[in-house]
């Protein structure tokens, strides 16, 4: 390599792939890869059984899993994650919740995020009028956490 050539700076990437059975979080930097899986059905069933707050606890698991996947390929002290979630009714009655990852930073470095949307869908057993008026109760929250 000559003196005029520079080595490209490899930036870390977080990839999120979600389907009803598994959420796969991939941390990647150069040739290093870390795969972390979350089984949402198992987690939600356990939380429901134990009477724990399901959504908040799931978000904590998601945040920590992203941090772990990234930590294995790009060691860092502080992870900042911004995301929003939208429910098609109140959280208790919603049949669909969409989570959108908006920003991830590791020690101030903004990371590339691929596959930034996770959708949870369930049976919609709300009655006709409840579905019709759900737009009034729709929930949208923005979340900012530092881990």
Q: What is the pLDDT of residue 120?
A: 80
The answer to whether the beta carbons of residues 85 and 99 sit under 8 Å apart is yes
Hey, what are 8's tokens? Answer: 């490209």
Q: What residues form DSSP beta bridges with 110?
A: 105
> For every one of its 147 residues, what pLDDT tens digit does the chain have, with 9 covering 90 and above?
455 566 677 889 999 999 878 999 999 999 999 999 999 888 878 877 777 767 788 899 999 999 999 999 999 999 999 999 998 888 778 888 899 999 999 999 999 999 888 888 777 777 787 777 777 888 899 999 999
Q: Phi/psi at 113 (nearest 5 deg)?
A: -120, 125
The answer to whether the beta carbons of residues 104 and 12 sit under 8 Å apart is no
The answer to whether the beta carbons of residues 62 and 23 sit under 8 Å apart is yes
Does pTM top 0.85 for this prediction? no
Q: Phi/psi at 74 (nearest 5 deg)?
A: -145, 85
Per domain, the residue ranges of the chain are 13-146
């Amino acid at each position: 390599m000559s003196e005029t050539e520079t080595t490209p700076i490899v930036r870390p990437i977080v990839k999120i792939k979600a389907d009803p059975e598994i959420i796969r979080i991939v941390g990647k930097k150069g040739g290093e890869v870390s795969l972390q899986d979350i089984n949402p059905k198992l987690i939600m069933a356990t939380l429901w059984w134990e009477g724990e707050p399901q959504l908040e606890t799931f978000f904590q698991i998601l945040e920590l899993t992203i941090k772990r996947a990234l930590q294995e390929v790009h060691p860092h002290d502080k992870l900042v994650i911004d995301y929003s979630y939208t429910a098609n009714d109140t959280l208790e009655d919603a049949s669909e919740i969409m989570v959108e990852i908006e920003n991830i930073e590791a020690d101030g470095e903004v990371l590339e995020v691929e596959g930034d949307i996770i959708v949870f869908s369930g049976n919609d057993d709300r009655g006709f009028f409840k579905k019709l008026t759900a737009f009034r109760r729709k929930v949208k929250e923005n979340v900012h956490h530092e881990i």
